[in-house]
Structure 1
Amino acid sequence: MAELIRDITLCILFAWALGLAAHFLRQPLILAYLVAGFIIGPYGTGWVHTRESINTISELGLIFMLFMIGLEIDLKKIVRAGRVILFGSGGQLVGGCLLGIAFFMAIGLPMGKGGFDALYLCIACALSSTVIIVKVLYEKRELDTLPGRITLGILVLQDIFAILFLAVQPSLDNLQISIVLLSIGRVVVLVAVALVLSRYVLPPLFHRVARRPELVLLGALAWCFLIGEIAEKLHLSREMGSLVAGVSLSTFPYALDVTAKVTTLRDFFITLFFVALGMTIPIPSLSVVGFALVIAAFTVVSRLVTTFVPLYLMKQGLRASLLPALNLAQISEFSLVVIQVGIAAGHLSTATSSAVSFAFVVLAVLSTFMITQSDPICRWSIPLLKRMGLRDLDHVGVDGEAHGDGHGAGRRIVILGFFRSASALLSEIERQNPSLLEQVSVVDFNPVVFSNLKARGLHVIYGDISNVDTLLHAGIASAEIIILSVPDSLLKGANNEKLVRHVRSLNTTAKVIATADFLSDVPDIYAAGADYVTVPRISDARELLSAIEAVDDSLLDEKKAELDQLLAERREVLP
């Protein structure tokens, strides 16, 4: 016990020290944890060398990691997932696995007779990193964009796919239909028990202790280990049980509170898992490094093929098809879990496991850069793809004519960029002055906006508003009113000040209305040539003040009824 405590102390100290270095160098923390484990592990300094300590630390970390992954899986979102996400994720997973099996068997990896290296690798390469993607997209404020939502939807369905694989994995040595069905049946029993208990037993218990944070935390941990033990009794694994425990808790009312309470503990044990994983990575030979680079290259290429193609065939446009492919081009931390489970079962070699770990490290660094620079990469790639013969949504206009100069000419009002403010504006025009819609043209590169506006008979041009050619095609030169309704935080490759300068250089007489995120931006946008600048926070403040006054006058119910009636009359393009 004393040796285990010493080993955990070393894990945390080195993880913290290298985590600080990774933070200052803007590298993924997971990479720092793996390196920390390698340094103190048996292949590094040897300060932690006891196999029992490494296994205990790894299993605890893995159980908590899968429990938290389960908590973050929103089953309701999966049920509501649109056709694009369902078919996109299906194409990515099925295509990735088929390509993976074919490729890894072609290079000589075993598939059956005790060795399943090709199968585990194809599964590992089909999964993407939730930790890396969510972190970078959050920092870029792209989680709520269409490519961001598609990316997150595919990530959730990847997790479901991994759950199914973990259910079948114990039976790989004797893979018969009856055994597979038995394994799936055990999973169904486990999920049913967990869902019934989480729906009818846990809510009243958690309700009674909701004001006692320590009991909420203890209850969540007890639930995690209880379902893990039930899974063990069903000849599944504790790790599988912890994942199901998390998924079942994600559906009940206190999921958010439980997640908040468990997060700190989760971070502690996830750190231990990745440090323990780093301890198992031997000093690589040239062959292992070469194999890791092959795995990394295959992952990037296969992700581009299996993600881009389905989305492009569903007419999402080049940009909205390419961005999710770039976002997903890495190996998941869940892949490392799958590989570790395979090693424990004796299904694949340690050389393959080491190569996957190194490929994970390479892609963690590379994909962070790719996601950060995804917009410039798209701007460079799209013209190349067009020269290769791929058509974008701007190939044909709303009325069927080819996209070209003067395409938007004759429209008095041009809206550059389309987000929720523009959606609300069109709804308001439709409600108060429908004839004005005939004078409006919208320019945006969101395929959902393009198809919805086109279906409603509105004039819409597919294009990037930061591109001068797009502005020329949109008929900016002849417009009388030009509206920039997208805030700087959502604009890619430009901001409102730069856009106003572009617009003003093309049209010196139009009235230009722009948007400012910050009060300090207003003078700069006016100096760039804007005639009027809206600041959304001011209108929001007025609405909040009117709500406060309604409360003081005992008129809040009447105000709510007026708002409900107004919302019922609106038919917006974006929800």
Structure 2
Amino acid sequence: MPHADLIADIGLSIVAATSIGVVAKALRQPLILAYLAAGILLGPKMGFGLVADEATISLIAEIGLILLLFIIGLEIDLKKLAASGRSLVVTGLGQFPLGVALGLAFFAPLGFALGDGRFDALYLAVALSLSSTMIVVKLLYDKFELTTLPGSITLGVLVFQDVWAILFLAVQPNLADPAVGTVLVSFAKGGLLVVAAMAASKFILPRLFGFIAKVPELVLVTAVSWCFLVSGLAGAVGLSREMGALVAGVSLSTFPYNVDVIAKVVNIRDFFVTLFFVGLGMQIPVPTGELLGFAALASAFLIAARFASVFPILYGLKNGLRPSLICSINLSQLSEFSLVIAALGLNMGHISDQTVGILTFVFAATSVASTYMIQYNHEIQKVLAAGLRRLGLRDVTDAGDRVEPHADPDIVFLGFFREASSIFQEIETLSQGSATPPRVLVVDFNPVVIRELASRGVACVYGDIANLDTLVHAHIGAARAVVCSIPNSILRGTTNQRLLRMAKRLCPQAKVVVTANTLAGAHSLYADGADFVFVPRIHAAERAARVILSFQGGTGDDVRQTETAALNARHEVLG
């Protein structure tokens, strides 16, 4: 009975995916690899042939794929994208086309098809130009690096890659007829779909969602209905249904309800997406020596291409060796989106199953490799930066050198993140009108910070505070106060304990301020000789408690107005 077979096939797929997923979790590997492995084991090509009806599994998996792209669209904030800094916008716009050009130049001479209805070289070039949002965000989050300069640029480039992928999906159905007119018609259709979806999201959907906002299950059903409505419209006008799902998500991305929608849709999506990757694993051919060789070559090319397409742009925009190299390292893996594009291309007859196999093995190899590359990105960066300096590439010290460090700074900031920005602002405010304002020196390797400080006439040194030589050459010996407001969870290559010891050694007369996130850490730093330990949650809690008590006592009505005015009056280095 087909019905019973379908239930059995789905059940086997989920059980296998779960079992191998538990093993992957124990080994700290991406779950997608486990789902692909489950498909390989169940499928007829390399496995035991336990699942006979691959087509039905793939059909159900397409639902998950549509929901996956809907979620990706929900997480693309066009307003934030438009407000991105110059480095992010230029890198986001330039990385993908440059990566595709490098891919075509590399794979076409190797014999991969490009024309006569086959586009293996193009698909390889496009797929290898996209990086994994899922893997990168998880690893950077675990390392507390999402809000650092390299982390912010990395996330921004990933969002731009999603937009580039949307554009490719728009023309994908018409690749077999790549005439200019056909491509323009595809873009026109896509543009009209976007305009219609955005218009509905501005004039119709706000009222609809406002009306049903208090009925959670109706919010979920309405959001999913919107997804499949736009997806169906895209299919009706000759575009891919997956692109329609992306457009539907983007049109809801600025809604106040989008977080709630994501939370509700994600569980449904995960079930179907699991089937999608299991189904993809069933289609992977038996690996031959040639296939594995091409996969290894493509993996090496992907990593090299990231450095060739990301590093020159960021370095050319004077972001320095460190951020430019770390972003290149962070993006050195294949995207889940690439497997989606490859699966669609296989269904359309654009590519062979060998190309899908190559990309799948590349995904597995680079996912595992990037787990360690991102974990040790700072150490890898130091080695690469040293080699580039020997080749004659200079770091961006010129911006900081325009304001020479004072021979005898009063206050030295070791590292300059958001807390330091606020402390620096308060010092400037409290010092206004003083006949002898304190001379401040900042040591940091964020080019954005260095340029902004230099424009304000603040002495700064571009360098790594973890390096004792950097502090020696900064001439901080006569400082009266040395401040590190960055907790150990964000510091790389050093700790507050080490900085405290170095400061005591280099500046014996200075009062040393360091930072801790825990009470035990604060006690330890005081025991080591710290003059003041900054505990952000405690010192911020004092102000919050005063405000809360004022509300409880019937006062504090002017807090909102006062705080808004105070925020507007601040002009911090880091907003």
TM-score bucket of the superposed structures, by smaller chain: over 0.9
| Inter-CA distance 50–487: structure 2 relative to 1 (3 Å threshold) | same
Residue 513 of structure 1 aligns to a residue whose secondary structure is: strand
Deviation at 1:128, TM superposition (A): 0.5
Aligned to 1:372: 375
1:438–1:458 contact (8 Å) kept in structure 2: no
Residue 39 of structure 1, aligned match among 38, 41, 46? 41
| Inter-CA distance 143–281: structure 2 relative to 1 (3 Å threshold) | same
Cα deviation code 1:162-192 (max 9, x no counterpart)? 1111111111111111111111111112112
Q: Distance in 2 between matches of 1:460 and 1:426?
A: 13
Tell whether 2:140 aligns with 1:137: yes
Question: Match of 1:304, as an amino acid?
Answer: F
Aligned to 2:552: 552
Deviation at 1:325, TM superposition (A): 0.5
Superposed, 1:294-373 pairs within 5 Å as: 294-373=297-376
Q: Distance in 1 between matches of 2:205 and 2:286?
A: 47
Aligned to 1:404: none
Aligned to 1:418: 416
Deviation at 1:57, TM superposition (A): 3.0
1:203–1:253 contact (8 Å) kept in structure 2: no
Cα deviation code 1:13-71 (max 9, x no counterpart)? 11111111111111111111111111111221111121322321331221111111111
Q: Distance in 2 between matches of 1:220 and 1:561?
A: 37
Tell whether 2:511 aligns with 1:519: no
Aligned to 1:477: 477
Deviation at 1:397, TM superposition (A): 4.4
Tell whether 2:177 aligns with 1:178: no
Q: Distance in 2 between matches of 1:175 and 1:213?
A: 45
Aligned to 2:453: 453
Q: Distance in 2 between matches of 1:168 and 1:332?
A: 19
1:496–1:515 contact (8 Å) kept in structure 2: yes
Superposed, 1:38-437 pairs within 5 Å as: 38-43=40-45, 44-394=47-397, 397-399=400-402, 409-434=407-432
Aligned to 2:15: 13
4+ residue stretches of structure 1 with deviation over 3 A?
434-438
| Inter-CA distance 413–387: structure 2 relative to 1 (3 Å threshold) | same
Cα deviation code 1:304-335 (max 9, x no counterpart)? 11101100000000001111100101111111
| Inter-CA distance 309–466: structure 2 relative to 1 (3 Å threshold) | same
Aligned to 2:29: 27
Q: Distance in 1 between matches of 2:516 and 2:168?
A: 49
Q: Distance in 2 between matches of 1:412 and 1:135?
A: 41
Aligned to 1:501: 501
Q: Distance in 1 between matches of 2:549 and 2:65?
A: 53
Aligned to 2:487: 487
Cα deviation code 1:375-421 (max 9, x no counterpart)? 111122222211111101236743377xxxxx663112111010122
Q: Distance in 1 between matches of 2:14 and 2:490?
A: 38
| Inter-CA distance 244–397: structure 2 relative to 1 (3 Å threshold) | closer
Q: Distance in 2 between matches of 1:488 and 1:13?
A: 41
Question: Match of 2:18, as an amino acid?
Answer: W
Residue 513 of structure 2 aligns to a residue whose secondary structure is: strand
| Inter-CA distance 529–218: structure 2 relative to 1 (3 Å threshold) | same
Structure 2: 5+ residue stretches without partners? none
Tell whether 2:468 aligns with 1:468: yes
Deviation at 1:492, TM superposition (A): 0.9
2:431–2:438 contact (8 Å) kept in structure 1: no
2:139–2:374 contact (8 Å) kept in structure 1: yes
Deviation at 1:203, TM superposition (A): 2.1
Residue 392 of structure 2 aligns to a residue whose secondary structure is: coil
Q: Distance in 1 between matches of 2:104 and 2:437?
A: 53
1:8–1:57 contact (8 Å) kept in structure 2: no
2:57–2:275 contact (8 Å) kept in structure 1: no
1:408–1:474 contact (8 Å) kept in structure 2: no
Question: Match of 1:20, as an amino acid?
Answer: V
RMSD (Å), alpha carbons: 1.6
Tell whether 2:543 aligns with 1:540: no
Deviation at 1:236, TM superposition (A): 1.3
Residue 512 of structure 1 aligns to a residue whose secondary structure is: strand
Aligned to 1:574: 574
Cα deviation code 1:226-270 (max 9, x no counterpart)? 111111111112212111111111122311111111111122122
Task: Give the % identical residues.
Answer: 48
Residue 141 of structure 1 aligns to a residue whose secondary structure is: coil
2:54–2:282 contact (8 Å) kept in structure 1: no
Q: Distance in 2 between matches of 1:408 and 1:33?
A: 59
Deviates more, 1:500-509 or 1:538-547: 500-509
TM-score with structure 1 length normalisation? 0.96
| Inter-CA distance 444–101: structure 2 relative to 1 (3 Å threshold) | same
Q: Distance in 2 between matches of 1:396 and 1:156?
A: 29
Cα deviation code 1:454-499 (max 9, x no counterpart)? 1111001111111111111222322221111112221112221121
Q: Distance in 2 between matches of 1:254 and 1:534?
A: 37
